[in-house]
Amino acid sequence: MSKSKLQSKTRAQNSSPSSVASQNQWPFDKYKLYSQAVQSADGDVEFFANTYKELRGRAGRVLREDFCGTFMLSCEWVKMHRENRAYGIDIDREPIDYGNKNYLPKLSESQQSRLSIIEKSVLDNSLPRVDISVAMNFSYFLFKERNLLKAYFTNVYEHLHRDGIFILDIFGGTQCHQAIQDRTEKGKFVYYWDQKGFDPITGYADFSIHFKVGKKKYNDVFTYDWRMWSIPEVRDILLEVGFKMFTPIGKALLAMAPGMENSHGPKLVNPACLGSPTLLELGRAQI
């Protein structure tokens, strides 16, 4: 399948998070609650910077945030250092507009000048080359077909600098294949992560985020129609594309992984971490 056909096929779904209603249809700020419930942008960008420096021995300055939504990570990245530049990639206008209204004005003029939001598919072949590409919150799970996921990983690889790295997260474990609803108190609201169902034949799964504000619960504020890619499947495609380093690291142990900069091939730091959300680091092959 040609790159143009791949882009056309995925244009309607290439954004994160998914939503069943626009922001103004809820009696609360759904993006604010989302960020408070599941995001820690300042900690994430610190990890990106530290990981790149540990692996490459120098600072990485250019970040690409795929499926950027409200582009919180990109904002935090340009705030981190006066030489940092960020590119946020997404095709969903609503979260981009939200970020333009709520996050962009909080940046200084210099910081704003180093942030670019590109309203294109992550499969587009005209995206800028960067030091670090990231795909967070399992956003690439929207690619349900192997050839689409491989096309995406290929695009990432081809737009990394020679010593660039690709960071993405993944979750798995037996509990992720069961219908279950997690409830988390978040101060003035309650956050629900609803695993509605999983098809073991196709690997397809449906998830939703609900919020309870005051005494009322609002269902399906965000919805996700994904394929649950396994770590071996993701690893195999990445290696086919050309990535040479594959390092699963449980988030609680990220700073404790020894010898990452000398790693060659698969390396599992702690198998016990794979039952919970796990972050994968991929370093592009040296050419």
Give residues with Cβ within 8 angstroms of 252, minimum separation 6.
273
Extents of the domains making up the chain: 3-174
Q: CA-CA distance, 31 to 186, in Å (whole number)?
A: 14
Which residues does 52 contact at the CB level (< 8 Å), separation at least 6?
Answer: 59, 60, 131, 132, 165
CA–centroid distance for 269 within its chain: 21
What integer pLDDT is reported at residue 177 of this predicted model?
A: 80
pLDDT of res. 129 = 96
List per-residue pLDDT tens for the chain, 287 residues long.
444 444 434 433 444 454 445 666 899 999 999 999 999 999 999 999 998 898 889 999 999 999 999 999 999 999 999 999 999 999 999 999 999 999 999 999 999 999 999 999 999 999 999 999 999 989 999 999 999 999 999 999 999 998 888 988 887 777 778 888 999 999 999 999 999 989 999 999 999 999 999 999 999 999 999 999 988 898 889 889 988 766 655 432 222 222 333 333 323 333 333 333 445 555 554 43
**Two structure tokens written together for 232:** 């071996």
DSSP assignment of 79-137: HH-TT-EEEEE---HHHHHHHHHHTGGGS-HHHHHTEEEE-S-TT-TTPPPEEEEEE-T
CATH number of 3-174: 3.40.50.150
> What's the token pair of residue 77?
């990245």
Using a 10 angstrom Cβ sphere, with 0-12 exposed, 13-18 middle and 19 or more buried, the burial of residue 12 is exposed
Which residue type occupies 201? I
| Dmax (CA) of the chain | 58
* Contacts of residue 228, Cβ cutoff 8 Å, sequence gap at least 6: 141, 172, 176, 177, 198, 203, 204, 205
pLDDT tens, position by position, 11-56 = 334 444 544 456 668 999 999 999 999 999 999 999 999 988 988 8
Q: What is the pLDDT of residue 231?
A: 83
Residue 248 has a pLDDT of 57
Query: Residue 245: what pLDDT?
Result: 64
